[in-house]
Each structure stands twice: as structure tokens, then as C-alpha cells.
Amino acid sequence: MKNNKLLSNTMYLYLLTIVKMLFPLVTLPYLTRILSVDAYGSVAYIKSYMSYVQLVLDFGFLLSATKDIALVKGKNDEKIPYIVGDTFVEKIILLVLSAGVTSVVSLFIPILRENQLFTWLYFIAVGLTIFLPDYLYRGIEKMECVAIPFTVSKAVSILLTLVLIKSDNDLILIPIFEIISNLIAVVISLSLLKKLKIGIKLTGFKKWVSDLKESAVYFLSNFATTVFGALTTLIVGVVLNEEDVAYWSVCMQIVSAAKAMYTPIANSIYPHMVTNKDLKLVKKIRNLMTIPMVLGSIVVMIFGENIMVIIGGENYEYAGYILKFLLPVIVVSFYSMLYGWPVLGAIDKVKQTTVSTVVAAVIQIIGILVIYLFSSFNLVSLATCCCVSEIALLVIRLIIFKRNRNLFSD
């Protein structure tokens, strides 16, 4: 029964992941062909900044709140409404703080300053996600309540994008469609919450502060993780230009799509690993994923430029060359993710997992500073820094795992 539930959750999370992959893979070739390279670069830059806003709003709740709910589910169900209510208030606090920071930052970063309306509309779209109790559905292992709202809302967004966006003059419609999409997701998600008859109750200010402190560890780890993606895009926009942002962003979307294939595995086994410490499952998943990743890497090495021309158009052939340098990130990130929260997080090695991510992020930042100071900053050298830091992350986590091997059941 447990295995069937785990399989069902994994399948729903893969549905979620497929939709997350399809959205950029369907809209990316379209947008890169109808928008100028500079315009697409600006859109990609603002989206990268908003990924940090999203990160602040999530603040590690997908791990901390999910874990809290998973531990009380079926034992102290009366605590669940308090977890939901407190998390919602905490997200509101973070939303207000994010708005203040964005107000200041948008005055100093040229791309944000020159696209204020686009930036703030996108902020509203991201802000709506505080009403999505995904952590709850993950904690009670009802992944369909996460997958269905997201799938429906993104289908609407894709349709609107393909039908109504025709040129650079339609850029402002992109965040508007995101607002519509997220509103649909919120309505569906909250209606599912009502059917589950889970209420919302509040504990108090001290509890909110305590929760934020607890989740800060997860947030720090997730924040450091974004150094491997969104932060590099922001740096490219500051040091290079919109054209390079467009090339790098397309590459990072491919990398993110590959990583997204791993995420459902990590998310679905996390609650199971918290309660069972099942190392056999981890080994089985690890072995199962190795062959397709190796085969995929060979294909990219041979046909990288051709793949990117198909995805982005003839203007993006150079991005295929850059993608080849990012292959180690795609492969190694699966193992570093697997031995992160699903394995180390399950045995309460939260600080160690966070430290591993922070150390790897610091290594990458130092690498970026070095290539910048020696006037060697370009997309190839940046990709190399990403590879080195990702390998460092895996090595650190494997060392921690080896030292705590006895805490798992075979």
C-alpha cells in the first residue's frame, strides 16, 4: 500500500515536472523567434530576479513545513491547521519585505529600472503563490493537489502566450499571463483544500518567528543553490550584455529542464525517507538514472549546436557550444540532489546539508571573482565555474553520507 502511494505521488510529481519542462520548451522556441535577442534577454533577466523573490516567499517551507506535517499526519492531525495558518502569515511577512527590497533594487539595476511596469506585474504574479499550500499537500502525500492546479494554470498560460504574443510590443502581456495563470492555480488549489476540510488556525507571533528561524536553514541552502542558476544570469546581465543574457538563459533553461526531471524523485521519496531511512530505495534510484543520463550527455556532446538551433533558432547556435560545457552540471546535479535533502535531510543533517551547499556556492563565487579580476569573464569560463562548484557539492555530501551511513536501514 505504501509503495503504491509512493508510486502515485511520484507519477503526479512527474506530471508536474513534465508541465514545468513543456512550458519553457514550448514557449522558448516561440519567444526566441518572435522577440529580438535583446528583448528576450531582458525578459530572462527579470524572470531570474523574480526567481529570487519566489525563493524568499518559499523560504524553505516546502521542506520544513512539509516535514512538520508529515510527522504529525495520522498522529496529531489537529496540529495541521496551525501549521497551515502560521505558514501563510509567515509568507505574507516575507512578501511585504520582498516588496520593499524590490522597490530599492529596481532603482539601481538598469534592466529592472527600464522595465518597471513589467517588473512589478511579474512581482504580483509571484506574490500570488503565497496562497498555494503545496507544502501541505506534499506533507499529507496528496501530490495530485499540487500537480492538477499547476497543470491547468500553465496550459492556459501557454495558450495565451502562443496566441497573443507576436512581437516586442507585446512584452507586457507576459507577466499579465503569469498573473492569470497563478490566479487559476490558487482558485483550484484552495477549492481542493476546502474539500479536504482542513481549516486554518493561528498560533501567534513567537511561533511565526520561531518557524522563520527554523526554515532559514532550508532557505539558506536553497538560496545558495540558486547561485548555480539565477544568480549567474544576473551577473551576466551586469558584466556582459542582454545578448549574452539571452544565450546563457537559454542554456540554463535546458539545464533546469534536465534538473527538473530529478526533482519529483527527490520530492516524492523525501517524506518516505524521513520515516523509513530506506537506503535500498536510494541505491535503486541512483542506478536506474545513470544510464539515461550518460546517453543524454553523449547526444548533447555530438548534436549540441543542432539541438539549440532547433530550440532557439539560428541566432542561438552559439548557446549550443556553451551547453556542452554545462554537461557535468546536468549529470552531477542528480547525485548531489539525491544525497541532499532526501538522504541527509531525512536523518536531520539539515545544517550539514546547508553548509555543503553554501561551501559549493562560495567556491563558485570565488571562481567568478577570479575570472572577472583576470579579465577572463565569458560564458565558457562561467560554465566551467558552475561545473567545479557542482562537483564540489557532490563530494562534500558524499563525505557526510559516508560518516553517517549507520543511520540508514539496508
Instruction: Answer yes or no: are the C-beta atoms of 273 and 339 closer than 8 Å.
Output: no
Say how many domains are in the chain: 1
Beta carbons within 10 angstroms of residue 258's beta carbon: 21
Q: In terms of Cα–Cα distance, which of 43, 14, 13 is closest to 28?
A: 43
**Distances from the Cα of 231 to the Cαs of 99, 237, 352, 382, in angstroms?**
19, 10, 23, 12
Specify which residues 363 forms β-bridges with. Answer: none
What is the SS3 assignment for 409?
Answer: strand
Give me the pLDDT at residue 9, please: 75
CA distance 266 to 330: 15
Q: Secondary structure of the chain: what % helix, strand, coil (to 5)?
A: 85, 0, 15
User: What is the average pLDDT across 283-297?
Assistant: 87
Q: Which residue has the higher pLDDT, 21 or 322?
A: 322
- CB crowding 35-67: b at 16 or more within 10 Å, else e: bebebbbbbbbbbbbbbbbbbbbbbbbbbbbbb
Q: In terms of Cα–Cα distance, which of 81, 90, 92, 99 is closest to 61?
A: 90
* pLDDT per position as a tens digit, 137-167: 988 888 888 888 998 998 899 999 999 999 9
pTM of the model: 0.77
* pLDDT per position as a tens digit, 180-216: 999 999 999 999 888 888 888 898 888 899 889 888 8
Q: What is the DSSP string of 223-242?
A: HHHGGGTHHHHHHHHHHS-H
**pLDDT for 1 beyond 60:** no
* pLDDT range class, residue 262, cuts 50, 70, 90: confident
CA distance 226 to 386: 11
Give me the pLDDT at residue 2, please: 56
User: What is the average pLDDT across 86-115?
Assistant: 93
CA distance 272 to 302: 39
**Distances from the Cα of 401 to the Cαs of 80, 282, 336, in angstroms?**
31, 12, 11
Give me the pLDDT at residue 28, please: 86
Q: In terms of Cα–Cα distance, which of 39, 28, 22, 47 is closest to 311?
A: 28
CA distance 289 to 407: 24
What angle, rounded to 10 degrees, do the helices at 279-312 and 2-34 form? 20
User: What is the average pLDDT across 106-121?
Assistant: 92
Give me the pLDDT at residue 167, please: 92
**Distances from the Cα of 88 to the Cαs of 10, 63, 83, 143, in angstroms?**
26, 15, 9, 19
Q: In terms of Cα–Cα distance, which of 331, 306, 319 is closest to 379?
A: 319
What is the SS3 assignment for 278?
Answer: strand
CA distance 172 to 68: 40
Domain range for 351 is 2-407
Instruction: Answer yes or no: are the C-beta atoms of 69 and 135 closer than 8 Å.
Output: yes
* pLDDT per position as a tens digit, 313-367: 888 999 999 999 999 999 999 999 899 888 888 888 878 888 898 899 899 999 9
